Amino acid sequence: MENSTSVKTIFQKVEDALQTIRPYLEADGGDVKLLNISEDGIVKLELLGACGSCPMSTMTLRAGVEEAIKRAVPEITKVEAINITSINDPEAKLPNRYL
């Protein structure tokens, strides 16, 4: 799916959707990187900065990132992060503004 013209369009639409939520992620010291879009519409992301170690990353992914992407790009069926932090992870850290 990545090599076709339609995927480039979908890839750009997903990037555009991510741009709408980046200011919120950046406000907490985080960001997100689009890695791949599969043939069946699954987006793979990497959570960066504070998002990569935050125990709220699952909620951020579902309520923020996935919602924004699916609203902008209905062809997307699922959004996955390769590095979701478990809320029970002893290395997990909340952004400073929540401490």
Q: Domain limits of the chain? A: 5-98
The pLDDT tens digits for 16-63 are 999 999 999 998 889 999 999 999 999 999 999 888 887 888 888 888
Say what the pTM is.
Answer: 0.79
CATH fold of 5-98 reads: GMP Synthetase; Chain A, domain 3 (3.30.300)
Q: Write out the DSSP string of 39-81.
A: TTSEEEEEEEEGGGT-TTHHHIIIIIIIHHHHHH-TT--EEEE
Query: For residues 79 and 43, is the Cβ–Cβ distance under 8 A?
Result: yes
**SS3 label, residue 13:** helix
Say which residue the tokens 């062809």 belong to: 75
Amino acid code (one letter) for 83: N
